[in-house]
Amino acid sequence: MLSFFSHFAYLILYYFIVVAAIAVVLKTVFNVPHELVRKYQHIGYAASFAFYLYVFESWAYAVVAIVIFIVLIFIILALFEKTSYYKKLLVDRKKRGGELKYSLIQAQAMFAILLYLFYYLLPGDNEVIVWIAVVSWGIGDALAALLGKRFGKRKHDGYNADPKKTYFGSISLNIAVFIIIFFTLLIFSSIVWWVALSIALIVSPLATVIEAYAKKGTDTTFLPIGIALMVYGLLTFFSYLGVIL
């Protein structure tokens, strides 16, 4: 039990220094654009997944830590939002605050779902799969937002697609997810190159569709979980065919 609380303390320290303190410095000292600060924090969330995989003793302990962390974050940020320092120090696009709180909580909930699905419910060694999902979300979604806002001229106009997102951003996500899936499978698994290529070619455009149609930040949940399930399903399919190695 003592080891659990010491591990949890490391997690809190990481978020305080890497995600919060550095972001405050970037905003207040270096005047970094708010969108860059947001995506820096976004990638910081993704990197924190390593704590849940490698620091805590089991997936169950990691999920317990996530639940406790969510409660603490909700209370702390809910109180901090009421002060005059909140908007001065932190980046939150909502007038009354709340975006930072709920995006952080949503990311933690997504981590818990991935851990439950791929370390308890679904059989096999799924470490590579969950990392593909989290890195694709962390890097791919950040690139889609930054490049889409910087270079995107045409907004999505498809039926029920998010009109705030651009085709250029979606293309950026597609390329990023393809590269992440292909090279991660090629380097960190034993599958043959053409299977890795096939999975990357199938999953990346479908992930792009998920991201384009997910609204109000729900891509934080649907994108990584969708990618993980698709990669898992395709790996299972190729294994069934006997061509996985």
Give the pLDDT of residue 16: 97
Beta-bridge partner residues of 166: 155
Residue whose token pair is 């999902």: 133
pLDDT < 50: residue spans in the chain:
none
Give the pLDDT of residue 156: 79
Pick from 162, 151, 147: nearest CA to 211: 162
212: which residues sit within 8 A by CB, 6+ positions away?
A: 156, 158, 161, 162, 165, 170
Residue 204 identity = S
Q: Measuring CA to CA, how many Å separate 75 from each of 58, 69, 78?
A: 26, 10, 5
Residue whose token pair is 């000292």: 29
Give the pLDDT of residue 106: 97
Give the pLDDT of residue 244: 65
Q: What is the mean pLDDT of the chain?
A: 93
Give the pLDDT of residue 93: 87
pTM: 0.94
DSSP state letter for 18: I
Give the pLDDT of residue 162: 80
Give the pLDDT of residue 245: 58
Residue 43 identity = I
Give the pLDDT of residue 218: 92
Pick from 186, 61, 57: nearest CA to 128: 186
Give the pLDDT of residue 136: 97
53: which residues sit within 8 A by CB, 6+ positions away?
A: 62, 127, 130
Residue whose token pair is 């999505």: 156
Q: Please state the separation of Cα 138 from the chain's center in Å.
A: 4
